[in-house]
Amino acid sequence: MVREAFLALKNGMIFKGQGFGASREASGEVVFNTSFANYPDSLTDPSYNGQIIAMTTPLVGNYGVPSYDVRDQWGIPKYFESDSIKAEGLIVWECCKQPYHYSMAKSLDQWMQDEKKPGIEGIDVRQLTKILRHYGVMLGIMKVAEEGEHIDLDDLKKRAADCPDPNVTRNLVGEMCSKENKVYNVSDHPEEHKTVALIDCGVKYNIIRSLLRRGLNVVVMPYDATWEQVVEFNPNGIVFSNGAGDPKDCKQAIKTMAACIENDMPTFGICLGNQIMGLGVGGDTYKLKFGHRAANKPVIDLTDPVKHAFITSQNHGFAVNKDTLPPEMEVYFICADDNTVEGIRHKTKPAFAVQFHPEATPGPQDTEYLFDKFIAMLK
């Protein structure tokens, strides 16, 4: 069946396509991602909460979607980054209707129907991406009609002009984080292993898995956990995860970060965790024009004498302002594309953070060594 579908941007631009997934409406920030594969990972990444993803690769869904029931040795879903689709909606040029892969359980279309998420295909995603690069990330509304229904374009365009900003009207991190502590023991003898606290701002499953795989017990804690609550577990170190929205909204996490550094707790920040570290030491953050969302972003290690370069997976819309960092902090990595901060570290204390995703999924595994670097700092 062919279903009418439209995307209306806040600036009045309208894109017409065909609907797939759920017949419903969604609103949020319209962003683009240049990854070529791993759409199940991207769609379930909690950092996309409040956002509509436009995939620039021309064909999406050709290997279907695996089952949540396939789990690793710790009981974590093996092929997803959370337990459901977190993006508000999906925009593609073509959604494959006859996928095939030995591990698939359903099609992308069926998966999005089951999870009540709308999708639009047939839109010129190249044109949309150029618009977002020129004007910056833009709010918008996408609507997929029921079969035989016609969409009132004037009404959609009017409501898109007043589209609410989820960064302002919603607690994007609070919606995604754990509401209570969760303990992952690496083995049946947890006392034989070190333990790290993980502040969950919308953590990807592969961050938890990357720590477990290296022999660490993991205590996942809500994003608003205090320093006093963290030290109750007597952890050997602490990790601040990725997440959605404006880092300045994570007020308690910023205070906890400051306490970690003040008390010489080995600390590792990832993505939003990098911005929280910047704010925790007294620096500032700002919103990027259109963000970094890709599996091929180049970064340069400024602390290495030969300036090693790495290809990284990224998904963020904010960055640390390097000019606001205090003297005891230094820029660790920069983006080779635009020289924005991709990592910071303390000059004398065991604390560092990166803006990219060393755990990948999707993307390259060039920087997985940073987990080992963190482990080497543990008490």
Catalytic residues: 271, 357, 359
Report the C-alpha gap between 112 and 268 in whole angstroms: 34
CB contact at 8 A, 145 and 22: no
Report the C-alpha gap between 29 and 344 in whole angstroms: 27
3-state helix, strand, coil in the chain (%, to 5): 25, 35, 40
Residue 129: C-alpha distances to residues 9, 30, 56, 307, 361 (Å): 12, 10, 8, 31, 23
Q: Which residues contact 226 (CB under 8 A, 6 or more apart)?
A: 252, 255, 256
In this structure, which amino acid lies at residue 10? K
Q: What is the DSSP letter of 192?
A: G
- Detail the DSSP E strand segments found in 187-283: 195-201, 217-222, 237-243, 267-270
Angle between helices 251-262 and 272-280 (to 10 degrees): 70
Report the C-alpha gap between 50 and 175 in whole angstroms: 10
Within 13 Å, how many C-alpha atoms sit on residue 291's CB side?
28
**Residue 180 corresponds to which tokens in the numbers above?**
């209570």
Write down the residue that tokens 């290495």 correspond to: 304
Q: Which residues contact 31 (CB under 8 A, 6 or more apart)?
A: 48, 51, 52, 53, 54, 132, 137, 290, 291, 293, 317
Report the C-alpha gap between 12 and 160 in whole angstroms: 7
